[in-house]
Amino acid sequence: MTEDRIEEGSEAQVSAQPGTPTPQPDVSPSPKPAKPKHIILNSHQHRAAQVLPIQWGAADPRQRGPVIGSLRSLKHRNVIGTHAGSYGVYRALAVASGVLDPTHKADLTDTSPVVELGPHPSWSDPNKIVSLDPFGATPAAAFGDYDSNEYDILPTIAITKAHINIPELRDEIAQGRLQVDGQILKPDGSLVVTKAAIDPVWHLPGLAKRLKIEEWELRRVLFQQTGNMFPELVTRPDLHVFLPPIGGTTVYIIGDPAAITNPDLPLAVRVHDECNGSDVFGSDICTCRPYLVHGIEVCIQTAQEGGAGIIVYCRKEGRALGEVTKFLVYNARKRQEGGDRADAYFLRTECVAGVQDMRFQELMSDVLHWLGVTRIDRLVSMSNMKYNAITHAGMEVVERIPIPPELVPADAQVEIEAKKAAGYYSEDGVRSEADLGQVKGRDY
């Protein structure tokens, strides 16, 4: 690759193969879509380029401006990174292997939200929402008059409806803990929900302010700690919005979404961070799935009272340390002297990861602001970090609902007692350090 053939901010012909400086014309007919034969660097602002500004926090989406992260809209891109979070990397694989035409234009016919959520006053407060695009579900409504061939403006939020079937709910109906109403909870045990998938959209100045650091410091470390993946973080101070390659958030709304913002109606919320081992596979080392199901149960009961329930599901596996770290920690916990003990629960994580937690719950409140939440009557969580994030963000929490003791799996006593000792909400007090050492899990 010869450097003098690359122009920053403009199109430049470079060889696709290192070591062969002269581009070779592709003369063989191929049924696969054509791959791009040149590289366009956007690492510096081109003198002539004028991208549409993003006025974060503006109440009118036209004034706020579109988020243009598509690679089909190169000269109009006004953000760093690209769409679909971590799946953007798979998109690159699909293009590289020739199965996806990089110029493919999404046909968004009939994809608009089936339920209208917002706008809410929080959408126009640049400090309340910094990690998602509040207008991300409806770009077609705001920017439908833009030439879609020129400006590839894609949604970052999708809103649909579903029926979900969870075996535990059928058991609860059989035990009389839940009542079938035919609207929200059907006789066959299926639950009717509205759900929204949200990709992350970070407003870097707002994010830095939330984390109490300088924007430049945030940009520099993001650049370095992603292996220099996004040079624009440090070379394009004119761009303030970043689409990070991370997992997003899914929201499940039970009951009438309009009830969320009605102060006369009750609202239940559980914010749940992904735990694949328990949520999907039923691992008994933690309380995640039983607590999630209990959260859904409380949401159903609240919706049946005329209110609404919200489950926020965040892709932050293993406290955002990832599942590899998590399984390493499981091994370290079970092999340590004295076995898996509540008094060493957090210590083992810190030994492996260097920290106990990287979820940054202070960003979690954004999704609740996006939904227009101002008061939570029943917060189904014992986490002090989540409670603090929600209340610091200005939302009122009326009642905190712990996991019922009978739902805690035997091997998860280590986790729950360690968390209570570390400050999690508890109705029955905290055990002494000596007691904690006696709370033990299985070997394997």
Could you say whether residue 314 binds Zn ion (CB under 5 A)?
A: no
Which CB sits closer to Zn ion, 59 or 280?
280
* Structure-block tokens of residue 264: 């006369």
Q: Minimum CB separation from Zn ion for residue 136, in Å?
A: 29
Residue 270 has φ and ψ, to the nearest 5°, of -125, 125
| The one-letter amino acid at 101 | D
218 touches Zn ion by CB under 5 A: no
Neighbours of 308 (CB within 10 A): 27
Contacts of 388 (CB under 8 A, 6+ apart): 361
Burial 202-217, CB ≥16 within 10 A → b, else e = bbbbbbbbbeeeebee
Instruction: Name the one range near Zn ion by CB under 5 A: 260-268, 279-287, 372-380, 396-404.
Output: 279-287
The piece of 138-146, 215-223, 278-286, 384-392 that touches Zn ion (CB under 5 A) is: 278-286
Q: How far is the CB of 64 from Zn ion (least distance, A)?
A: 38
Helix, strand, coil percent values for the chain (each to nearest 5): 35, 15, 50
Nearer to Zn ion, 288 or 312 (CB): 288
Identify the residue whose tokens are 């009717």: 192
Nearer Cβ to Zn ion (77/326)? 326
Catalytic residue flag (residue 4) = no
Place of tokens 């299926």: 190
Near Zn ion by CB under 5 A, which window of 6-14, 280-288, 378-386, 418-426?
Answer: 280-288
Q: Are 189 and 220 in contact (CB under 8 A)?
A: no
- For the bound state, the minimum distance from the C-beta of residue 301 to Zn ion, rounded and expressed in Å, comes to 24
Among 288, 293, 371, 380, binds Zn ion (CB under 5 A): 288
Window 256-275: residues binding Zn ion (CB under 5 A)? 275
Q: Round to whole Å and give the CA distance between 351 and 428.
A: 30
The letter for the amino acid at 6 is: I
In the bound state with Zn ion, the residue whose beta carbon lies nearer, of 401 and 416, is 416
Residue 154 or 288 having the CB closest to Zn ion: 288
Eight-state DSSP code of residue 9: T
Catalytic entry in 64, 210, 341, 359: 359
Stretch that binds Zn ion, among 159-167, 282-290, 336-344, 395-403 (CB under 5 A): 282-290
Catalytic annotation present for 377: no
- The residue count for binding Zn ion (CB under 5 A) is 4
Least distance between Zn ion and beta carbon 251 (Å): 20
Cβ 114 to Zn ion shortest distance, Å: 31
For residue 92, give the 3-state DSSP assignment: helix
Asked if 278 touches Zn ion (CB under 5 A), the answer is yes
Q: Does position 292 bind Zn ion by CB under 5 A?
A: no
Q: Residue 133 or 279: which CB sits closer to Zn ion? A: 279
Contacts of Zn ion in 31-70 (CB under 5 A): none
| Dihedral angle computed from the Cα positions of residues 62, 63, 64 and 70, in that order, rounded to the nearest 10 degrees | 50
Query: Shortest gap between Cβ of 158 and Zn ion (angstroms)?
Result: 27
Distance between CA atoms of 33 and 332, rounded to whole angstroms? Answer: 49
- Helices vs strands, H then E, count in the chain: 16, 12
**119's tokens:** 């706008």
> H-type helices in 237-383, by residue range?
276-279, 288-304, 317-320, 323-335, 345-353, 365-370
Point out which span in 58-66, 92-100, 283-291, 397-405 binds Zn ion (CB under 5 A).
283-291
Measured from the CB of residue 178, what is the shortest distance to Zn ion in angstroms? 23
- Determine, following the binding rule CB under 5 A, whether residue 286 of this chain makes contact with Zn ion: yes
- Rounded distance, CA 278 to CA 16, Å? 44
Q: Which is nearer to Zn ion, 199 or 279 (CB)?
A: 279
Q: Is the preceding omega at residue 187 within 30 degrees of 0, hence cis?
A: no
Catalytic pick among 270, 357, 378, 400: 357
What is the binding site for Zn ion (CB under 5 A)? 275, 278, 286, 288
The residues annotated with a catalytic role in the active site are: 357, 359
